[in-house]
């Protein structure tokens, strides 16, 4: 451990707020490094001086004055209700319950989302099915396609496409309608 690192840990060392291994290392370093030992001693004295400060005393009637000021304070009903709500929230909304609720919402969204959605413009089919490792596209619903001038085809994608990428050459014209 070098002096720079020890200098950063000195305060926490004095407070006993380091891990056992860190405590030992700092102690060892202070034993051999004079500069750090002086640093340690001066910070320790600073802490000691603060702990020796006297207790500042209020005027004897401060308590009574606070109480008389409280008489003028009315807590509105909405604030009382809000306070209750916050306090129940703090008591019962532990990180675990919040995590479980979040997980539940994610699951519901994933399950309710249709797996096969195709986006011709980007050529990607079914993000969700790819993500979940399911076989790629299987589109059964007609996809809108820019109609030629003379005909309006109904377009189906082929279901034996392993890559999940839809290209115009894969599209089959199933039927034609008169213009």
Partner 1 sequence: MLRRNKNETEEESVELTTSAAAASERVDRNLFDELVQRHHKQAYNIAYRMTGNHADAEDLTQEAFIRAFRFFDQYRRELPFESWLYRIISNAFIDMLRRKPKAQIRSLDQPVSTDDGEAIPDIADESGGPEEQIISKEMDASIQAALNSLPPGFRLAVIYADIEGLSYEEIADAMRCSIGTVRSRLHRGRKLLRDRLKSFGAFLEEGR
Q: Which residues bind partner 1 (CB under 8 A)?
A: 8, 10-12, 15, 17, 42-43, 45-59, 62-63, 65-67, 69-70, 73, 75, 79-80, 83-84, 86-87, 90-91
Give Cβ neighbours of residue 152 (< 8 Å, ≥ 6 apart).
176, 177, 179
Report in angstroms how near the CB of residue 82 gets to partner 1 at its nearest: 8
81/141 with CB nearer partner 1: 81
| Residue closer to partner 1, measured from CB, 34 or 90 | 90
CB-nearer residue toward partner 1: 93 or 165 = 93
Query: What distance in Å separates the CA atoms of residue 66 and residue 34, rounded to the nearest whole number?
Result: 52
- What residue ranges in 20-168 does DSSP mark as E strands? 118-119, 124-125, 154-156
Between 84 and 158, CB nearer to partner 1: 84
What is the closest distance, in whole angstroms, from the C-beta atom of residue 2 to partner 1 in the complex? 16
User: Collapsing DSSP states into helix, strand and coil, what is residue 64?
Assistant: helix
- Please tell me what DSSP assigns to residue 57: P
Q: What is the gyration radius of the CA atoms in the chain, in angstroms?
A: 36
CB of 42 to partner 1, least distance (A): 5
């Amino acid at each position: 451990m070098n002096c720079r690192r020890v200098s950063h840990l000195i305060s926490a060392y004095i407070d006993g707020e380091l891990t056992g291994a860190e405590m030992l290392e700092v102690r060892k370093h202070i034993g051999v490094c004079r500069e750090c030992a002086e640093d340690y001693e001066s910070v320790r004295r600073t802490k000691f001086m603060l702990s020796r400060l006297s207790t500042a005393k209020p005027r004897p009637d401060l308590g009574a004055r606070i109480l008389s000021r409280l008489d003028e304070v009315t807590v509105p009903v909405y604030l009382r209700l809000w306070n209750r709500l916050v306090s129940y929230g703090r008591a019962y909304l532990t990180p675990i319950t919040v995590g479980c609720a979040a997980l539940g919402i994610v699951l519901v969204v994933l399950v309710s989302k249709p797996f096969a959605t195709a986006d011709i413009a980007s050529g990607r089919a079914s993000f969700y099915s790819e993500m979940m490792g399911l076989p790629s596209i299987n589109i059964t619903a007609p996809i809108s396609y820019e109609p030629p001038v003379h005909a309006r085809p109904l377009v189906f994608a082929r279901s034996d496409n392993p890559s999940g990428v839809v290209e115009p050459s894969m599209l089959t014209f199933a039927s034609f309608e008169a213009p």
